[in-house]
């Protein structure tokens, strides 16, 4: 054989087998005897042959349908299911999924949603379906707790998780850049004239993101805020009126950064006028679509599109299985102007 990589027909000739048998053995088709599959894999590895499952699936589909209109399939996997999901999280998942499906279509793939867990199938059943249909790419939607997808046979799949962090198994992931987003919010508020920002976070949310919101807040306060007010961050187990009002009255921040727009009414109950005397910045404007808040758009639709690009890249490079060095890709947020802040004239 030449020094270049062998073709499938070269392998078939060397093994004394048909082209179809070699192709199906490399795809681990159970119709091929185990000893034959093992022999084909051994010879292919020794010869430096790398099987491309996309090309194999394409040829298989063309033989079945007599057409060239094949599109690879990417599984979008919802591990929690939509039942009981809070409205804000449901909107985020919807936009994330929409961005993924649209981008997959632009790149010649079809993305299908699979629901696992409370409302759907077991991970074992999902693994069987994906394998039987020749689906090799898995796009995992965010879950509220630490996800566990170890029941899938990851030797077969390329995968991406769309949040911080996945450890069971450790896969590549993509998520919003929360640290840079907080710095951007603080810089915009400072440019408007606010000097006493106060941050309110739910404890679980803060821990799940490895304290990125909080870390960026203190970075800006310590290095970029000339007044150095050092208002403590409020991080209760649940964000509720009593603890918020006590904190707000004690420290009187001139602008509050928080996910929940309910805080606007709590501020008003404490005597604040929004935006005349105080401002409010929403850390995720998607959570409060009916309130014209200033704040951050975390761009879930773009995140879905970029995530699909990453997993398709793995397919083209034949990168399957759990990565040795999982990487994190981040997507920037956008600042959104709103009616809850205004430009402040500094007092003399």
Judge if 218 and 285 occupy the same domain: yes
Tell me the per-residue pLDDT of 210-219, one tens digit each, with 9 for 90 and over.
999 999 999 9
Please write the tens of the pLDDT for every residue from 129-186. 999 999 999 999 999 888 899 999 999 999 999 998 899 999 999 999 999 999 999 9
Angle 234-237-241 (CA atoms, 0-180°, nearest 5)? 65
Which of the four pLDDT bands, split at 50, 70 and 90, describes residue 49?
A: confident
Residue 339, C-beta contacts closer than 8 angstroms, at least 6 positions apart: 275, 292, 293, 294
- Residue 19 has what pLDDT? 75
SS (H, E, C) 8-73: HHHHHHHHCCCHHHHHHHHCCCCCCCHHHHHHHHHHHHHHCCCCCHHHHHHHHHHHHHCCCCCCEE
- 99/40 Cα distance (integer angstroms): 40
* C-alpha–C-alpha distance, residues 174 and 100, integer Å: 12
In a domain, 336, yes or no: no
Do 86 and 126 lie in one domain? The reply is yes
Tell me the average pLDDT across 69-84.
83
For residues 112 and 32, membership in a common domain is answered with no
Residue 64 reports pLDDT greater than 70: no
Q: What is the pLDDT of residue 53?
A: 57
pLDDT for the residue numbered 70: 45
Query: pLDDT at position 62, please?
Result: 47
Domains of the chain: total? 3
Q: How far is CA 210 from CA 103, 136, 205, in A?
A: 30, 31, 9
1 has a pLDDT exceeding 50: no
* 146 exposure class (CB count in 10 Å sphere: 0-12, 13-18, 19+): exposed
Who's near 207: CB < 8 A, 6+ residues apart? none
- With b meaning 16 or more CB within 10 Å and e meaning fewer, what string describes 225-252? beeeeebebbbeeebeeeebeebbeeeb
SS3 266: helix
* 202/133 same-domain check: no
Q: What is the mean pLDDT of the chain?
A: 89
Question: Is the confidence at residue 3, as pLDDT, over 80?
Answer: no
Phi then psi for residue 162, to 5 deg, are: -105, 50
Q: Are residues 244 and 287 in the same domain?
A: yes
Which of the four pLDDT bands, split at 50, 70 and 90, describes residue 44? confident
CATH number reported for the structural domain that contains residue 164 in this entry: 3.40.50.2300
Query: Does one domain contain both 45 and 92?
Result: no
């Amino acid at each position: 054989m030449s020094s270049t990589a062998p073709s499938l027909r070269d392998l078939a000739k060397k093994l004394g087998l048909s082209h179809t048998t070699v192709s199906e053995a490399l795809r681990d088709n159970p119709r091929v005897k185990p000893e034959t599959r093992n022999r084909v894999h051994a010879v292919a590895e020794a010869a430096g042959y790398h099987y491309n499952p996309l090309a194999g699936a394409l040829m298989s589909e063309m033989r079945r349908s007599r057409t060239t209109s094949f599109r690879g399939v990417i599984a979008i996997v919802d591990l929690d299911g939509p039942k009981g999901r809070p409205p804000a999280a449901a909107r985020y998942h919807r936009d994330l999924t929409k961005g993924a499906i649209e981008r997959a279509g632009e790149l010649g793939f079809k993305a299908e949603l699979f629901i696992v867990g409370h409302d759907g199938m077991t991970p074992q059943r999902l693994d069987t379906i994906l394998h039987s249909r020749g689906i090799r790419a898995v796009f995992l939607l965010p879950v509220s707790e630490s996800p566990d997808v170890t029941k899938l046979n990851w030797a077969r799949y390329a995968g991406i998780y769309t949040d911080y962090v996945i450890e069971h198994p450790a896969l590549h992931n993509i998520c919003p850049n929360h640290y840079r987003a907080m710095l951007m919010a603080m810089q915009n508020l400072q440019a408007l004239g606010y000097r006493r920002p106060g941050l309110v976070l739910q404890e679980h949310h803060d821990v799940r993101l490895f304290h990125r919101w909080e870390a960026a807040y203190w970075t800006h306060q310590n290095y970029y805020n000339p007044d150095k007010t050092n208002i403590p961050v409020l991080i209760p187990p649940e964000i509720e009126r009593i603890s918020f009002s006590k904190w707000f009255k004690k420290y009187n921040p001139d602008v509050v950064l928080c996910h929940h727009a309910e805080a606007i009414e709590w501020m008003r109950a404490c005597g604040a006028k929004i935006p005349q005397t105080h401002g409010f910045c929403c850390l995720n404007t998607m959570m409060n679509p009916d309130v014209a808040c200033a704040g951050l758009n975390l761009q879930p639709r773009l995140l879905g599109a970029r995530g699909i690009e990453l997993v398709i890249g793995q397919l083209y490079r034949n990168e399957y299985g759990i990565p040795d060095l999982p990487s994190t890709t981040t997507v920037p947020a956008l600042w959104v102007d709103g009616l809850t802040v205004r430009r402040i004239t500094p007092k003399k």
